Structures are given as C-alpha cells and as structure tokens.
Amino acid sequence: MAPTTQQTSRRDLLKVAAVGTGAAVLAASCSDDEEYTGRGVRVLRASEVPLDPFHDIWRDAPFTDVTLGPQDVALPQRVKPSVTKVRVRSVHDGKKIGFRLEWNDTEVGDKTIRVDDFRDACAVLLAPGDADESLRLMGSAETPATLLHWKADWERIVSKGDEGLDQAFPNRSVDTYPIIHEIPADEVGIDSYVAANATEWLPAIHVKNPVAGKAERASSVEKAIAYSFSTTTSAPTQDAEGRGKWIEGDGWRVVIVKPLGARDEGEIALKPGTVATCAFAVWSGGNRDVGSRKCPATKVEALELDA
Amino acid sequence: MAEVTNWQLNRAMYYPYEESRPTRQAAAVFDTNKCIGCQTCTIACKTCWTSGQGQEYMLWNNVETKPWGSYPLAWDVRELQLLGPQTWDGDTYTGNTIFEAAPAGERNIAWKPTELDYAYPNRGEDETNVSITTKRYNLKLPHDMWFFYLPRVCNHCTYPACLQGCPRQSIYKRPEDGIVLLDEERCRGYRVCFEACPYKKVFYNHTTKISEKCVFCFPAVEQGIQPRCMRNCIGKIRSFGFLSKPEEVREDNPIDFLVHVRKVGKPLYPQFGLEPNVYYIPPIHVASDDFLTMLFGPGCLDSIAAYKKAMNGEDPELLAALLLAVSTDRIITRFKLVGNRVHAWAENGDQVVDMPLKVPTVERVPFDPDLNVYRYNFT
Ligand code: SF4
Ligand code: SF4
C-alpha cells in the first residue's frame, strides 16, 4: 500500500516526538507497519476506535497476516480460494473493539441487483476460549460465535445509495406497478411500497427478512450469531459499524467496530486484559463467492486484548 | 449421500437427504398437443404473484416453443451439455443424474445463468425445427417440419435440487402435499438454489435481493382449488391433482391414472434425477423420436401410442380422464366413466364434474323465425 500524505505526516510527527521530547515509550509502542510477534492478534489499547480505515491509530496497531484457505467442509465449497491472505489489526478503547482488515482484490464487487452480481465481503468471528480451534467453523451448538459481517454492497448503500434498477437495467421499461400505480414506475422504490402499506409485493421485506434489500442503511456490518454452519442468524441488536474503501491496485481496507460488551443472547462479551478466539473470512464477489463459497482463515487466532 | 428410489429412472440414485415422500404429491399433467401458446397461464401467474418491483423478469410460469425456445436462454441445452452424453437401457437410466455427476465441492452439476440469459423470454417463439420452404412438410403425421409449446412451472420435484443446494436449509418440501417452498424470511440471497435447479425455476428478486419461486398457489390448494395457471388455461391442457406414492396408486385418481396406469404423462428431463412432478403428454406430430426421448425419457413413444388410441375412440376411459382438464376450478381426486358420462368428485365428496364423453351434435335449421336471424352450422 502506498503511504498517504496523512500517514507520512503521522510518521514524521512520531519521529519528532521521539527525538524532541524524549518520549521513547511512545515511539516503542508505535508499531508503524510492524508485524505482531506474539500469538494471534493483539488488540492494542488506544484512545479511540476510529471507523476511518486510514486513521493514524490503525498504524499504531501491530498487524497479523492471516492465511486464508479453501472452505472444504460444508457444501457448496470454495475449493480454490480467491483470496489467500488478510492483514488484520485491532484496537480497543475500553468500550469498543475495532478490526481493520486489508486484502487484495482486483475488482470491486459492491452490487447485488443482477442475478450474477455477487458482493465482496469480510467477516470477523469472535468466540470465547483461547484460540479454540473447535469454534473455527462458525461456533458450536454449545458455544455460539459472534459474527461481524461487512458487506461491500451495504457499504455502497451507506455511502452513496444503491445502484438502483434504472442504472442496473438502463433499457428497462415498466408501465406501472399494481397498487402503487399512481407513482411513475421509474420513481418507485422500496419506500413507495412501505408508504402504501403494500409490502406484500416485496415478499422478503414483508416478512421482515433482516438482510432483505433496503433503500437506506445505517451500517455496512451485520452482527450475527451462529451455532455452527447453516445457523447464522442476524442479532436483534445491530450495533456493529463499518467503513470500507477500495483502492485500485491495493484492494479493500475495511474497519469493523462493535461494543466490547454483549447485548444479545449468544453474543460474546470481551474484556480488556483477556484472551478470546477469533477467525476471519473474505469473499470475492468477482469470483462468485457467496455464503459458504468463501475463503476462511486456515486456523483460529488468539485475540489478546491489552488491559 | 443417501440412496433413494427414483421410479422415473427405474433405479436407486444418490441424493443428499434420505427418501421422504410426501403423503401425496401435488402434481399436474400437461397435454402439449392442446397448448396454443396463448400465455394466459403466464399472465395468470404474473398478475397474481410477480408484479412487484424486482420481479419484472420473473416468470414462474413460462411457455417456450420447442425446439428453439428456452427461458432462461438455452437452460436445458446448457445443463445437458454440462452433464454430457448419458444412456438409458430400456426403461432404466444408466447414466449419471445431476447429483451423481457433481463436481468436487458441489452438490450437483449446475449451469450458472447471467443476467443476460434472462433477456430473451420469447426467443425461438413459433420457430419451426427447420427453415420453412415451399415444400409442404406438414401433410403427414408426424410432421417433418414442426414445433410445439412447452409450458413450464416449478416441478415440485420429489428430489428438489433447489432444496438440497441451499446451505441454510431455507427451502422445504411440505409433507402433506409435496409443495416445495422457499422461506422468504430465512433466505439470504446466496442463489445456490437458483443455480442448482436445472429447470431454472428459482428466481432472484432484484429489489429484495432474496430468492423466490413458484408456490403452486398453495393457499388455493389448501382449500381444494387448483392453482391459477391451471384454472385459467385456455387450451384446457392442464390436469392438476395429487399423485399417490408409487405403491399406493389409485386407478380412479385421474393424475395416478394418467401417470401410472395409462402412463401417458411423462416427466420433463427425467435424466436430471429430480423426479419432477409436472408430467407432459408428448406431442404426436413431432418427427424426431430422439428429440422427444431426450426431453421426456424412453417411455414417450408408448405414451404417444396410448394417446392416439384414446383419440381414436379405442380407450374411452383415458379420453374421460383427459377431458377432466380445466373442467372445474376444484381439485379432482376421483373420477368415473359411466356409459357416455364422465363424473368427478372433489376430496370432500362434492361432485364437481358431470359431462358427456361425446357432446351430441345438433343441427339447426339455418333460419330462426323467432329472432329473425340466420345461423349457420359449422362442423
Ligand atoms: S423445479 Fe427447480 S425449483 Fe422447482 S422443486 Fe424442482 S429443483 Fe426446486
Ligand atoms: S394457458 Fe394453457 S393453452 Fe395457453 S399457453 Fe398456457 S398452457 Fe398453453
């Protein structure tokens, strides 16, 4: 990744701080592009947990390179992973924990309208224990896993709105939609059905499918609880946030943030100064990755939270 | 993988789940010889189920002209191409099903359509198998130059590829009537079912981003009423009812009679291995036994022979069963031919059909003095 102006100036400032004020401790704790040499992923204690993937605080956190491999357990599988490495950094501020994931993908997949549009995505799995390998595959019946799933198409909706049917299908022509026929067809959206109390025409929205399309979104991250494969369920409280940016040639830089505490049944409560289990996964939409067709970490990591 | 029986293949086959047949199976028999390609069925379904935003391209019911028509584009040819050449030994399928031919890491062979494949719903419509020339090919039966209409809905398969494909188990088959439904609340739009169904009868909603499929009008079926596409069929080609388990076949159940007794109803692409439950009476005018066998399996020629017999008056019972198609909105569970009259009953015992097998011909005098009009008889 090419250093940005902001990053360069941060590095310079640190040098000045170290030399000029004799703040050797500060310089030593700064792991500017430094690999974590301990076990697993270190969660650095920071003054805040920034959402911006390019915030200087992320450079202070030592990184761990996590190897991604095939998903060869549940069917359908992704036998040949499309992404083989994700670089992970983590910080907490005593209230929230954040992860910054960085991986290369040559094209952006942030649309899901067409039948063959698949999104880029990444996920953090959090579970109790100390790098408990038995929980790698989405937790277990006894010990649920908390999943934080960032979705590139949700990110797009948060930042600039959905692509929209007119853009996805520029030559489409619709005379009218029943029930909401007074609205010109090209102005119809999910909101039109909601306002007309006619969501029966949008079945998944009518039955309140938690991941069904939305005109607007507050967050690009879904918090879910899983008790093994096929059991992922959206958590009742959606309090995870995210921010992602794709850079030509470099791929995705994504931040995922959640409160340290737990608010939902099965959710993990993380405490400063303790160790937990974490794992990661990446999906490449351009490779039709979706659901179990994913690139998971080949092993779980210990998540070591600074006190 | 479990070993299950597939009577359409006359052998056991592999399927990811144990055999679990519904008590009875909602099923239909379509007489391709009577379909006029009017698309009333398509519109009946469209206006009922898929007229919302995001469903524009969805045709849970479509009618394609064979041999060239297809929706999505070349769905069957591409699936067959992936499967490769396969063989039958008499009535026994000796080739691989789409489950048995699954590539590593997948549950079945699956052609993955793109958005563009849905852009030509009426491709090949009314096109004949060969280019039209001045030679009059059609003055003999079967015709050398031919086409026929193939109306298609979800087959509510005994071994649904959509169901076994879903990693979230969001698709289920109802034990009471075998209708295959997709749970709109549980689905996450992964589209594995959409790819897995070889008939391409699962659709992805562009607006809700969740998959949807034909529901066989289950709210109507639960009340003893036939699905909309069946009720509205102009050509009266569609018989709808319940198919019994193979060992519990009842001769007086019209669907059992057509499928298991007279064996005129044949499955579409049985070689895929899903045991589909929409059956077809193959067209009698198509001069390509190979093409028909590819579509409807090796029994299709016997089916044509049996059908012709009925049409020639040599099998009045079969004719009676065929005449029941779209004769009532109610679901018929029992029928009987008494003399020249066909009787049929709904499940609750109501008699819903009483009609002559042969309608008497009445010749009127051309002039009606009461109304002072002329009427002509055409026969
Ligand atoms: S036809 Fe396709 S969608 Fe319908 S039950 Fe069979 S596999 Fe599923
Ligand atoms: S309504 Fe009946 S006759 Fe018309 S196209 Fe459909 S199946 Fe054929």
Average pLDDT over residues B175-191: 98
Hey, how many other C-beta atoms are within 10 angstroms of the C-beta on A164? Answer: 13
> What integer pLDDT is reported at residue B379 of this predicted model?
57
- Signed CA dihedral, B175, B176, B180, B185: sign only: negative
Q: How many Å apart are CA B370 and CA B372, to the nearest integer?
A: 6
Closest CA to B200 of B106, B109, B75: B75
Tell me which residue in B47, B115, B212 faces A114 most closely, judged by beta carbons.
B115
> What integer pLDDT is reported at residue B19 of this predicted model?
97
Q: How many Å apart are CA A200 and CA A208, to the nearest integer?
A: 11
In this predicted model, what pLDDT tens digit does every residue of A239-295 receive, in sequence order? 999 999 999 999 999 999 999 999 999 999 999 999 999 999 999 999 999 999 999
Q: Say how many Å lie between the CA of residue A9 and the centre of ligand 1.
A: 59
Q: Reply yes or no: is the peptide bond before residue B167 cis, omega within 30 of 0.
A: no
Separation in Å, CA of A77 to nearest CA in chain B: 5
pLDDT above 90 covers a percentage of chain B that reads 92
Q: Helices then strands (H, E): number in chain B?
A: 10, 19
Ligand 2 test: best mutation among B41, B153, B230, B231, most atoms within 8 Å of CB?
B41
Q: Supply the pTM of this predicted model.
A: 0.93
Ramachandran bin of A33, using left for φ above 0, alpha for ψ from -120 to 50, beta for the remaining angles:
left
Residue B330 lies in a domain: no
- Give A148's pLDDT tier (boundaries 50, 70, 90): very high
- Give A27's pLDDT tier (boundaries 50, 70, 90): very low
Residue B151 lies in a domain: yes
Instruction: Answer whether residue A29 shows pLDDT above 60.
Output: no
In this predicted model, what pLDDT tens digit does every residue of B68-95 receive, in sequence order? 999 999 999 999 999 999 999 999 999 9
> What integer pLDDT is reported at residue B132 of this predicted model?
82
Residue B345 lies in a domain: no
B242 is written with which tokens?
């319940």
Instruction: Answer whether residue B157 shows pLDDT above 90.
Output: yes
- Give A37's pLDDT tier (boundaries 50, 70, 90): very high
Is residue B18 within 8 Å of residue B33, measured between CB atoms?
Answer: no
- Give A94's pLDDT tier (boundaries 50, 70, 90): very high
- Give B134's pLDDT tier (boundaries 50, 70, 90): confident
Place of tokens 């006029």: B36
Average pLDDT over residues B53-67: 98
Chain A residues with CB under 8 Å of B190 CB are: 290-292
Q: How many Å apart are CA A151 and CA A158, to the nearest integer?
A: 11
Give residue limits of the domains in chain A.
Answer: 37-161+216-305, 163-213
Phi, psi of A232 (to 5 degrees): -55, 125
Residue B222 lies in a domain: yes
Average pLDDT over residues A86-98: 98
Tell me which residue in B113, B204, B210 faces A212 most closely, judged by beta carbons.
B210
Q: Reply yes or no: is the peptide bond before residue B360 cis, omega within 30 of 0.
A: no
User: End-to-end alpha-carbon separation of chain B, Å?
Assistant: 59
Chain A residues with CB under 8 Å of B185 CB are: 204, 207-209
Is residue B235 within 8 Å of residue B218, measured between CB atoms?
Answer: no
Residue B40 CB less than 6 A away from ligand 2:
yes
The domain of B71 spans: 2-304
B178 is written with which tokens?
């075998």
Residue B342 lies in a domain: no
- Give B23's pLDDT tier (boundaries 50, 70, 90): very high
> What integer pLDDT is reported at residue B140 of this predicted model?
82
The CATH number that applies at residue B75 is 3.30.70.20
Per the CB < 8 Å rule, is B184 touching A208?
A: no
Q: Say how many Å lie between the CA of residue A126 and the centre of ligand 1.
A: 37
> What integer pLDDT is reported at residue B139 of this predicted model?
73
Place of tokens 């102009």: B234
> What integer pLDDT is reported at residue B378 of this predicted model?
67
Residue B249 lies in a domain: yes
Tell me which residue in B56, B189, B192 faces A174 most closely, judged by beta carbons.
B56
- Give B111's pLDDT tier (boundaries 50, 70, 90): very high
Q: How many Å apart are CA A277 and CA A136, to the nearest integer?
A: 9
- Give B138's pLDDT tier (boundaries 50, 70, 90): low
Q: Is A69 on the interface with B (CB under 8 A)?
A: no
Residues with C-beta less than 6 Å from any ligand 1 atom: B 154-157, 160-162, 180, 197, 199, 201-202, 213, 274
> What integer pLDDT is reported at residue B377 of this predicted model?
72
pLDDT above 90 covers a percentage of chain A that reads 85
In this predicted model, what pLDDT tens digit does every residue of B314-360 receive, in sequence order? 999 999 999 999 999 999 999 999 999 999 999 999 999 999 999 88
Least-confidence region, from A36-40, B192-196, B308-312: A36-40
> What integer pLDDT is reported at residue B136 of this predicted model?
67
Residue B97 lies in a domain: yes
Closest residue CA from atom 8 of ligand 2: B35
- Give A19's pLDDT tier (boundaries 50, 70, 90): very low
CATH of domain A37-161+216-305: 2.60.40.1190
Residue B14 lies in a domain: yes
- Give B135's pLDDT tier (boundaries 50, 70, 90): confident
Amino acid found at B96: N
Separation in Å, CA of A99 to nearest CA in chain B: 25
Ligand 2 test: best mutation among B46, B234, B281, most atoms within 8 Å of CB?
B234
pLDDT above 70 covers a percentage of chain A that reads 90
DSSP E strands: which ranges in chain B?
2-6, 11-15, 25-31, 62-66, 88-89, 92-93, 148-152, 171-173, 180-182, 202-204, 211-213, 238-243, 266-267, 278-281, 332-338, 341-346, 351-356, 367-368, 373-374
Average pLDDT over residues A127-145: 93
Q: How many CA atoms lie within 13 A of A163 on its CB side?
A: 18
In this predicted model, what pLDDT tens digit does every residue of A153-190 receive, in sequence order? 999 999 998 888 999 999 989 999 999 999 999 999 99
User: Any idea which ligand is nearest the CA of B238?
Assistant: 2
- Give A306's pLDDT tier (boundaries 50, 70, 90): very high
Average pLDDT over residues B26-34: 98
Instruction: Answer whether residue B372 shows pLDDT above 70.
Output: yes
Q: How many Å apart are CA A275 and CA B17, to the nearest integer?
A: 40
- Give A20's pLDDT tier (boundaries 50, 70, 90): very low
Cross-strand pairs, B354: B343
Please give the tally of structural domains in chain B.
1
Atom of ligand 1 nearest to the CA of B155: 1
Least-confidence region, from A214-223, B115-124, B176-185, B363-372: B363-372
Average pLDDT over residues B150-171: 97
Q: What is the ipTM of this complex?
A: 0.92
Residues 6+ apart with CB under 8 A from B275: B6, B7, B8, B157, B158, B159, B267
Q: What is the largest CA-CA distance in chain B?
A: 80
> What integer pLDDT is reported at residue A6 of this predicted model?
39
Instruction: Answer whether residue B40 shows pLDDT above 70.
Output: yes
Average pLDDT, chain B: 96
